[in-house]
A and B are shown apart, each in its own frame.
Chain A
Amino acid sequence: NAGVTQTPKFRVLKTGQSMTLLCAQDMNHEYMYWYRQDPGMGLRLIHYSVGEGTTAKGEVPDGYNVSRLKKQNFLLGLESAAPSQTSVYFCASSSRLAGTYEQYFGPGTRLTVT
């Protein structure tokens, strides 16, 4: 039982490049989330998904796209990276059906955009 995993752990991009961050969970959770964490800003929700095939915008969605084609995977895409997207990105999952709602976090991806 690996919990929540994220790929890659580190990445450096040049402005304008694109990339996809992969999140996978093996707990059969319905809900999945992408956050970014910046100093002094806490965790800010980018996008989330309440089930396979559904996604929704969070607090800071601009510049990002997501897809949830399979229940266990949640992809975060940056089509044209900007220096303002330099951050640590965390994926999380939770289960409403289990009635606990607590979030399980992945180890994070540190992204630098130069």
Chain B
Amino acid sequence: AQSVSQHNHHVILSEAASLELGCNYSYGGTVNLFWYVQYPGQHLQLLLKYFSEDPLVKGIKGFEAEFIKSKFSFNLRKPSVQWSDTAEYFCAVIGGSYIPTFGRGTSLIVHP
């Protein structure tokens, strides 16, 4: 069975600080990996996805993530956060079942 672990539950940063959110998954085969973002009061939307291409994936709004197969990790990064990045971030993995498993989410608060 596949599983996802997000290590940081709550992150508080000041604007212009760098961001890295951890995501580790457990699955022995080929995976597809995703980061979704949920802005306050809204539904989840796709931030970026990994599909067996370049392990460094670039998404919207300056976000990127690196797939490190040996570490079963897919950490999300952004060099300089903005107040508008305040949101909840979810990592998800799809293995052989084609049904995704989501992590518990990381709440990010960015102070102006």
Q: What string of 1s and 0s marks CB contacts (under 8 Å) between B56-94 and chain A?
A: 000000000000000000000000000000000010101
Asked whether B98 lies within 8 Å of A31 as measured between CB atoms, the reply is yes
How many A-B contacts at CB < 8 Å in the complex?
Answer: 47
A40 to B92, CA, bound (A): 16
A31-B98, A42-B103 known; A101 vs B44 contact (CB < 8 Å) = no
Task: Please give, as numbers and ranges, the residues of chain B lying within 8 Å of A45 by CB-CB distance.
Answer: 99, 101
Asked whether A41 lies within 8 Å of B104 as measured between CB atoms, the reply is yes
Interface residues of A in 8-51 (CB under 8 A from B): 31, 33, 35, 40-43, 45, 48, 50
Task: Please give, as numbers and ranges, the residues of chain B lying within 8 Å of A33 by CB-CB distance.
Answer: 99
B46 contacts chain A at the CB level, 8 A cutoff: yes
A103 to B36, CA, bound (A): 9
Task: Please give, as numbers and ranges, the residues of chain A lying within 8 Å of B103 by CB-CB distance.
Answer: 42
A8 to chain B, nearest CB (A): 15
Task: Please give, as numbers and ranges, the residues of chain A lying within 8 Å of B43 by CB-CB distance.
Answer: 90, 105-108
Q: How many residues of B contact A (CB 8 A)?
A: 22
A105-B45, A106-B43, A107-B43 known; A42 vs B102 contact (CB < 8 Å) = yes
A96 contacts chain B at the CB level, 8 A cutoff: yes
Task: Please give, as numbers and ranges, the residues of chain B lying within 8 Å of A101 by CB-CB distance.
Answer: 32, 94, 98, 100
Asked whether B100 lies within 8 Å of A42 as measured between CB atoms, the reply is no
A96 to B101, CA, bound (A): 15
A90-B43, A90-B44, A102-B46 known; A42 vs B105 contact (CB < 8 Å) = yes
Task: Please give, as numbers and ranges, the residues of chain A lying within 8 Å of B105 by CB-CB distance.
Answer: 42-43
B positions within 8 Å CB-CB of A: 9, 32, 34, 36, 42-46, 49, 51, 90, 92, 94, 98-105
